[in-house]
C-alpha cells in the first residue's frame, strides 16, 4: 500500500467544498487542512463547511502561510479565482512551503501569452523548491483542449479542428448561471461585455494551448461573444428567465495559420439548451468526428479534473507545468 | 528550429512502408535508414520499396545491428511482429545501439502479465543505455485503452466501463481481412480458434492496462471469440465473401473486480459492418457516453500512433514504458 498523499484544500467556495467531499472518499489521500478567507467559514469544522456529515477533524484556517508551514501538505488543491493576478501570491505561498499545486484557475491552464512575468516568477519559485504547479479543469483543461489534442494523436495530417461545447446552463450551479448572463436583458449583456469582464474565461487559453502544442503558428485570433435569448420562459432550479431575456451566451474563437482557418472553438452555455454535447471534428487524415451526448457535466467533472491530477503533479518535473506535459490523464480512484 | 530527430524504420511490411511515407513528410524527422529481412527488398531504394516517387537516398539493409551502429538513429520505428517472443532480440539490438523504440508490437502495449522475464530483460537494457521503448498503435494503443482512460479523468467515481469498437474490415488492408477470417468457413474458424493463434491480438493487453491503471484488482477475466457470418455475399477490394461464410469476428473480454463486472471490451471486425464506430460508456459520476461515428480508421491511425509517439519516447524516462506513463498523446505535425 502506497503512502497516502497529504492534501490541503485552498479555497472553500462551491468547487472547493465539492473537492473536499471527493477527497474525503479517496483512500490514497489524507486531507490535512483547509484555508479560506470567508469569516463565516474560518474556525468551523471543514466537514461541516463542505456539507459532510463527518467533521473530518480539520478546522478551516484563515492564515494560509501558517497553515502550510504547520501542516506540510504535499499537494494543494487550489480553487479561489479565475485570474492570474489574484492567485499569484497564493500559489507562491504554497510552492515556498514545498507543496505542489493543482489549481482551477482558468487563466493558469495556459498562462504564457497572458502574463509572461507571472510565468517566470511562479516557475522560478517552483523549481527552487522542487515542486510543480498546473492549472486544470473541464473547460479549460479537457473538453475543448486536452481531449481534442488526444484525438489528434490518431492523425498523420490535420487541416482543421473544430471543437463545440453546448452546455445546458440551467442544470448547473447558480454562479455559473449568473456568469453566462442568465436572466439579464440584452442591454445589460452589452454593457457587461463592454466592461470586458464578461464571458467564459479560458476559451482563449484552450485555443492558444492547441495552437502551440501542435506547433501551428498563430496568425490571427478573433473572438466573439453573443447573447442567446430565451424564446419562451425558462425555469431553472435557481432562476426564472423571462421570454426575451438572456438565457446565456455563445462564444466563438477562430484561429488562422498560413492564411486559413485551422481552429474553431465554439461554446454555447445557456439555460434551455435542448441538445447539450461535446463535439470534436478533425478534418485530417484520417478524419475524426467525436461526440459526447449530453456533454461532460461540468460541475462534477471540474472536481474530477482537479482530484485526478493530484498523483500526476506529485510526480511532475518541478516548475510551472501544463496538462500537455504531464503523463496522460486518467482517474485517481 | 529544433534539430531533426534521426529515425530508422525497422520492418517494411505494409505498416512500415506507410510509416516511411509519413516520416518522409515530417519536417522534424530525418530518415536515416531502414531494415528488413525480405530479400526482395534488401538493397533496394527505401523510397521505391515504400511506394514513393523519390528514392530518399537510403538503401534497405538486412543487417540490423550493422545498420544501427553505422547510422546511429535516435529513434527506431519498429513494425515487424505482434509477438514479444519474436521482437525481443530486435528491440534489444536497437536499445544497445542507443536508440529509443516506438513499436507496433501489440503484445508490447502492456507486456507485464504475458512475460515478466521479457519485461525485466528489455527494461534493464533500456535503462543501461539511457533509452526507452514503448508499444503503441490504434488498437491496442488508443481506441480501447488510452482514449477510455483519458475520459475517466472526468469522473470522480466509476462503476463500470464499456468499450466497443466496430470495424468494417472490408475497407481495411488485405492482411487485416485475412486476420479476422473473412471468407473462411465456420469449420475453419473453429479450427483456427482451437489452434489458439486466431483473433485480434491486444484486446487482453487493453483490458489489463485499464484495470492496472485504474488500480482495479482483477478477479477474473473471460474472453470469447465468435464468428460473424455473412448473411449475403460481400465484395471487398480484395475478396468476395460468399453468403454463409465468415465475414469476420466478434471478440469480447469481461473483467470482474470485487465480485462485479467492471470492464467490458467488445470488438467486432468484419466485412460489411454497416455501422462502424468507436464507443466508450462510463457508468460513473458523471456518466459519460462517447462515440466516434465511422470509427477511427485503423490503417492510417496506426501510422499516426507510431509517428506521433516519436517525440514522446525521445523525452521519456529510460526503460520499458507504457503509453500511460508518457506525456499525453497528440499529433507530431
Q: How far apart are the first and last CA of chain B?
A: 14
User: What residues of chain A lie within 8 A of the CB of B301, using their CB?
Assistant: 154-155, 286
How many Cβ contacts (< 8 angstroms) between chains A and B?
A: 149
CA–CA separation, B154 and B81 (whole Å): 35
Testing the interface with A: which of B21, B134, B153 to mutate, by most A Cβ within 10 A?
B153
CA–CA separation, A6 and A68 (whole Å): 11
Query: What pLDDT, on the 0 to 100 scale, is given for residue A1?
Result: 54
- Identify which of A22, A307, A333 has the shortest CB distance to residue B158: A333
In percent, the amount of chain A with pLDDT more than 70 equals 100
Q: Which pLDDT band holds residue A172 (cuts at 50, 70, 90)? A: confident
**b/e for A14-51, b at 16 or more Cβ within 10 A?**
bbbbbbbebbbebebbebbbbbbeeeebbebbbbebbe
CA–CA separation, B42 and B64 (whole Å): 11
Query: What pLDDT, on the 0 to 100 scale, is given for residue A314?
Result: 97
Per-residue 3-state assignment (H helix, E strand, C coil) for chain A = CCCCEEEEEECCCHHHHHHHHHHCCCCCEEEEEEECCCCCCCCCEHHHHCCCCCCCCCEEECCHHHHHHHHCCCEEEECCCCCHHHHHHHHHHHHHCCCEEEECCHHHCCCCCCCHHHHHHHHHHHHHCCCEEEECCCCCCCCCCHHHHHHHCCCCEEEEEEEEEEEEHHHCCHHHHHHCCCCCCHHHHHHHHHHCCCCCCCHHHHHHHHHHHCCCCCCEEEEEEEEEECCCCEECCCCEECCCCEEEEEEEEEEEECCEEEEEEEEEEECCCCCCEEEEEEEEECCEEEEEECCCCHHHHHHHHHHHCHHHHHCCCCEECCCCCCECCCCCC
- Identify which of A138, A307, A327 has the shortest CB distance to residue B326: A327
pTM above 0.95, yes or no: yes
Q: Which pLDDT band holds residue A179 (cuts at 50, 70, 90)? A: confident
Tens-level pLDDT at each residue, chain B (333 residues) = 578 999 999 999 999 999 999 999 999 999 999 999 999 999 999 999 999 999 899 999 999 999 999 999 999 999 999 999 999 999 999 999 999 999 999 999 999 999 999 999 999 999 999 999 999 999 999 999 999 999 999 999 999 999 999 999 998 888 889 889 999 999 999 999 998 878 899 999 999 999 999 999 999 999 999 999 999 999 999 999 999 999 999 999 999 999 999 999 999 999 999 899 999 999 999 999 999 999 999 989 999 999 999 999 999 999 999 999 999 999 999
Test A288 with B303 for CB contact under 8 angstroms.
Answer: no
Query: What pLDDT, on the 0 to 100 scale, is given for residue B175?
Result: 83
Test B327 with A328 for CB contact under 8 angstroms.
Answer: yes
Test A328 with B330 for CB contact under 8 angstroms.
Answer: no
CA–CA separation, B116 and A137 (whole Å): 37
pLDDT exceeds cutoff 60 at A16: yes
Q: Which residue of B has its CA nearest to A323?
A: B328
pLDDT, average across residues A226-244: 94
Return the higher-pLDDT residue of A2 and A190.
A190
- Identify which of B152, B288, B307 has the shortest CB distance to residue A156: B307
Nearest CA distance, A238 vs chain B (angstrom): 21
Nearest CA distance, A305 vs chain B (angstrom): 6
Query: What pLDDT, on the 0 to 100 scale, is given for residue B1?
Result: 54
Residue B165 Cα distances to A155, B132, B293, angstroms: 18, 30, 10
Q: Which residue of B has its CA nearest to A288?
A: B296
User: What residues of chain A lie within 8 A of the CB of B333, using their CB?
Assistant: 157-158, 214-216
Amino acid at each position: 500500500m502506497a503512502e497516502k498523499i497529504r492534501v490541503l484544500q485552498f479555497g472553500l467556495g462551491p468547487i472547493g467544498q465539492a473537492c473536499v467531499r471527493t477527497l474525503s472518499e479517496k483512500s490514497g489521500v489524507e486531507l490535512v487542512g483547509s484555508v479560506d478567507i470567508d469569516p463565516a467559514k474560518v474556525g468551523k469544522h471543514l466537514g461541516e463547511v463542505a456539507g459532510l456529515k463527518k467533521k473530518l477533524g480539520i478546522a478551516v484556517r484563515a492564515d494560509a502561510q501558517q497553515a502550510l508551514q504547520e501542516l506540510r501538505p504535499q499537494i494543494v488543491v487550489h480553487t479561489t479565482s479565475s485570474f492570474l493576478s489574484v492567485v499569484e501570491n497564493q500559489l507562491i505561498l504554497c510552492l515556498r512551503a514545498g507543496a505542489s499545486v493543482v489549481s482551477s484557475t482558468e487563466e493558469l491552464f495556459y498562462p504564457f501569452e497572458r502574463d509572461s512575468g507571472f510565468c517566470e516568477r511562479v516557475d522560478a519559485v517552483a523549481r527552487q523548491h522542487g515542486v510543480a504547479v498546473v492549472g486544470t479543469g473541464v473547460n479549460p483543461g479537457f473538453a475543448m483542449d486536452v481531449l481534442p489534442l488526444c484525438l489528434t494523436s490518431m492523425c498523420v495530417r490535420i487541416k482543421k479542428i473544430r471543437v463545440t461545447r453546448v452546455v445546458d446552463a440551467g442544470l448547473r450551479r447558480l454562479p455559473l448561471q449568473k456568469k453566462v448572463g442568465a436572466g439579464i436583458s440584452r442591454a445589460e449583456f452589452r454593457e457587461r461585455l463592454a466592461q470586458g469582464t464578461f464571458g467564459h474565461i479560458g476559451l482563449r487559453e484552450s485555443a492558444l494551448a492547441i495552437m502551440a502544442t501542435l506547433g501551428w503558428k498563430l496568425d490571427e485570433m478573433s473572438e466573439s461573444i453573443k447573447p442567446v435569448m430565451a424564446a419562451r420562459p425558462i425555469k431553472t432550479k435557481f432562476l426564472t428567465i423571462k421570454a426575451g431575456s438572456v438565457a446565456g451566451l455563445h462564444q466563438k474563437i477562430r484561429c488562422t495559420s498560413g492564411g486559413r482557418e485551422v481552429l474553431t472553438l465554439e461554446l454555447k452555455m445557456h439555460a434551455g439548451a435542448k441538445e447539450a454535447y461535446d463535439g470534436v471534428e478533425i478534418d485530417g487524415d484520417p478524419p475524426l468526428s467525436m461526440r459526447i451526448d449530453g456533454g461532460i457535466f461540468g460541475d462534477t467533472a471540474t472536481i474530477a479534473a482537479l482530484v485526478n491530477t493530484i498523483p500526476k503533479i506529485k510526480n511532475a518535473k518541478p516548475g510551472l507545468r501544463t496538462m500537455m506535459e504531464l503523463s496522460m490523464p486518467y482517474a485517481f480512484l
